[in-house]
Chain A
């Protein structure tokens, strides 16, 4: 069982609120990712990190921001949530710095913005 945790699992908030989705892993992985996925649809990479103090934008443009102050922690923040941000956000980590290693996914955070 993978040791990667996301909170909250479900969040319903109003437009304009600031939210932070938490992601922590205890496997000591340097590389971490955030994916956005609408129900039953494809995975879109929105952010990734090679390690502490490293953050990179993914293939899909996102208004969210991320930080990586500690190896095990990779939170995602939306300063002002909008209904268009409604989606599932999946955090993942891998031992490999390249794409050659298995991705371990958290259980996801399902965000609904009213």
Chain B
């Protein structure tokens, strides 16, 4: 069935280093969303990308949607301790898979050493 793979599963960085997480789908996506979940918290929406090749920035965060609409990335420049948490990508299949619901990746858990 439809899958969204996310790597790496864990990432440990020194504060100030950059961080990137990657998301890959087995089929074309109509959109990709990114969520952040702080330890002990609930997922919070960050952004949605819908266009092929789209790039969006939020301060130190840069989000990209691949040209083929099968992959996406989230890049954080100069990480801070407030960036700690698990980052999930989630996409909707272009072919109506999963009944049109979002398919979540397994998440990348980011830890930042001060």
Binding site for B on A (CB under 8 A): 33, 40-43, 45, 48, 56, 58-59, 90, 97-100, 102-108
Binding site for A on B (CB under 8 A): 30-31, 33, 35, 41-45, 48, 50, 86, 88, 90-92, 98-107, 109
The answer for the CA separation of A59 and B103 in the assembled complex, in Å, is: 9
The answer for the CA separation of A108 and B33 in the assembled complex, in Å, is: 20
Q: Residue of B at shortest CB range from A4?
A: B42
Residues of A within 8 A of B45 (CB): 102-104
List 11 A-B residue pairs with CB atoms under 8 Å apart, sorted by A's residue number: A42-B106, A43-B104, A58-B101, A90-B43, A97-B100, A99-B92, A99-B102, A100-B31, A103-B33, A103-B43, A108-B42
Residues of A within 8 A of B31 (CB): 99-100
Pair A105/B42 contact, Cβ less than 8 Å: yes
The answer for the CA separation of A108 and B39 in the assembled complex, in Å, is: 13
Given contacts A40-B86, A41-B106, A42-B106, contact A98 B43 (CB under 8 A): no
Counting chain B CB atoms within 10 Å of each CB, which of A98, A107, A108 scores highest? A98
Closest Cβ of chain B to A40, distance in Å, is: 6
The answer for the CA separation of A66 and B41 in the assembled complex, in Å, is: 23
